[in-house]
């Protein structure tokens, strides 16, 4: 199944008070495995950059001043995500900003029925624990050494790894290591009896054998016990 892992960076926390998108990053995954296809764009917010936001992502107003407006890239953005499910950490934040930008240019919003919120998944799987992206990366042993600042594309790549772990890990059949195959052999034993190298020791002593013979002698001539005793004394046929 095709899914799109998505992240954004913004000028602040609330699009209703004038904050804007400044970066979108998307990673395409099939069956939770990245395909190598990505979408990434910086956006001109047409406003200043608060120092609090700059400290998070390091994108200055000067750097963004020559970048395209959201209206100029909306078609390629929507073409990339198509109608695929969107995997987002704390989805209400990112979708809120994207829908605010779509509303500014008269485009319909992205509906939440196509959104998979990994924060909600993490809270169900790890109740009571901190489930920030950094915490989940540490919990699952995902290398975050490149993440010195927040970045939409890098965070999407890292979230793709976290999402796979939240869903139980990637299928081992898609791994790059070859599993060791253990071959066991089974000895096939013939149904024919094999000759013992040494006969089993007798379970009866001489007194018990003599007592049994005396008992058999008291039986009638046609008794089956006499026939069995005679066969036993004669031994196996040559």
Q: Which residues are catalytic?
A: 150
Write phi, then psi, for 4 (nearest 5 degrees): -120, 120
Report the distance separating Cα 63 and Cα 42, nearest Å.
9
E strands within 136-221?
none
Q: Single out the residue of 19, 18, 31 nearest to residue 172, CA to CA.
A: 31
Q: Hey, is 43 helix, strand or coil?
A: coil
Report the distance separating Cα 181 and Cα 39, nearest Å.
40
Contact at 8 Å (CB) between 157 and 27?
yes
| Longest CA–CA separation in the chain, Å | 123
Provide, for the chain, the percentages of residues in helix, strand and coil under a 3-state DSSP scheme, each rounded to the nearest 5: 40, 15, 45
């Amino acid at each position: 199944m095709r899914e799109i892992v998505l992240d954004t960076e913004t000028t602040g926390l609330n699009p209703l008070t004038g904050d804007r998108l400044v970066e979108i990053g998307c990673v395409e995954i099939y069956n939770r495995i990245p395909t190598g296809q990505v979408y990434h764009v910086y956006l001109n917010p047409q406003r200043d950059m608060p120092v609090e936001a700059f400290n998070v992502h390091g994108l200055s107003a000067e750097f963004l001043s020559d970048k395209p407006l959201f209206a100029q890239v909306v078609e390629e953005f929507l073409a990339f995500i198509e109608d695929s499910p969107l995997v987002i950490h704390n989805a209400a934040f990112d979708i809120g900003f994207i829908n605010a930008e779509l509303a500014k240019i008269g485009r319909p919003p992205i509906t939440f029925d196509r959104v998979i919120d990994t924060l909600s998944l993490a809270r169900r799987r790890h109740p009571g624990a901190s489930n920030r992206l950094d915490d989940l990366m540490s919990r699952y042993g995902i290398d975050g050494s490149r993440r010195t600042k927040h970045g939409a594309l890098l965070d999407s790549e890292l979230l793709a790894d976290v999402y796979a772990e939240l869903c139980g890990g990637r299928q081992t059949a898609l791994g790059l290591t070859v599993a060791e195959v253990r071959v066991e052999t089974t000895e096939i034993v013939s149904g024919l009896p094999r000759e013992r190298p040494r006969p089993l020791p007798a379970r009866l002593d001489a007194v018990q054998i003599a007592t049994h013979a005396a008992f058999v002698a008291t039986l009638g001539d046609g008794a089956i016990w006499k026939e069995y005793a005679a066969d036993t004394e004669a031994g196996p046929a040559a």
